[in-house]
Structure 1
Amino acid sequence: MSSLVALLCALFAMNVALWITRNLTRPLSKNRDERRGVKTLVVLGSGGHTSEMFSILRRLPLDVYAPRTYAIARTDSQSANKALSFEREVGGSRARARIEIISRAREVGQGWTSSAATSLVALVDAVSLVWRERPDVVMCNGPGTCVPVVLASMAMRGVGFETPATVFVESACRTRALSLTGKIFYHARCVDATYVMWERLSELYPRATFVGRCV
């Protein structure tokens, strides 16, 4: 079963990577200096979300999507090391990739009342991060940590910046409905592109792009 899941995730990542490369590289080139790459802010979650994101990144032209900054929640004890390992694997350097720690909007099992305060703190961290980094594109694939980062990206546009472009890739395990994060982004129309794995999702959410069923 685990090998089948790994195969499905790999195929999914390949399809998503092709769509992202075809649809984002050309439009972004109009708004950036052609002598540098597409400055990319990658939001990492934990567990499966992080693994999926690295699978996607492995299939992207990393010399184009660079330099890279990884946004990681403060209570995430594993993703930073995974990001460093990934960069060593692909031959990155510290000058081309860095890690930024931000507050987590909501912990698993946290009450909705208390999460309002932590979400506000996370939003402040995210605004500071996006303002400092000025990325061309923000990539995320599901964790709640990406919500304040995407909202911060919208705020950047509100003060006159054309970028960053925002891309949300729904998790491979979402076969019948979008995740809570996906629903927020979809209904609030706060990302430029939403990619889904399963055709059923593209039928239920017609503004989402179906990137191929991994079977």
Structure 2
Amino acid sequence: MKTGVLVIHGFTGGPFEVRPFVHYLKDQTDWNISVPTLPGHGLPPNLRGISAESWMMEAELALKQLLKEVDRVILVGFSMGGLIAMYLSLRYPIDKLVLLSTAAKYISPKVMLGDVVKMLTESVTKKHSPNTFYHLYDYKLANTPLQSTVEFVRLNRMVVPYYHQITVPVCIVQGKKDEIVPFSTGEHLYQSLGSEEKHLIISETGKHHICYSDDATDWFSEVLAFMQEDTGVF
């Protein structure tokens, strides 16, 4: 059985936000992995005039293509990407759902971008293109349109009423040191989703950009075990 994985990045970000986990999956599996760049995102970002529907549609198109190529699809969503992944799981035959630092509660994009700048300058930049990332987020702090923030909040509100209708097996990963999405969000999702099979993994050192946490390789292996499990027992 051929497996496909659709990985959806977060608000104002891009595929680089989930790159460590994507590289891990590629090293450990032969799965078909798709990581689309949502409209207005990537390098450099230009969100002006882009709607929440555009973000959802791009992810949906990538999912439809993946469904043509594989037998089973696993959705992985980071931050806002987690909201989009949940939305897609309601409409398509998804095998499993992985939610990373999912923005299920309101966050301030300005605070988020400030945290990213700090995160990049303190740790990630030691190993991952410091100048490119720092200048990208410095630019985004000053250039994220207010309307884009409104679209993000609107997307959140579109998905919230349907949590209980999500029934696919789900694995939630939440960092204890997340300064953007409240730590309680992981438990909130665990209690709210309608899935019978639910798992909550806590990253002790994880901030919002959890794929870059110091303990990432530990939870990477736990999530992979969930993704590989066929019997429904994790």
Asked if these proteins are the same fold (TM beyond 0.5), I'd say no
Q: What is the TM-score normalised by the length of structure 2?
A: 0.40
Q: What is the TM-score normalised by the length of structure 1?
A: 0.43
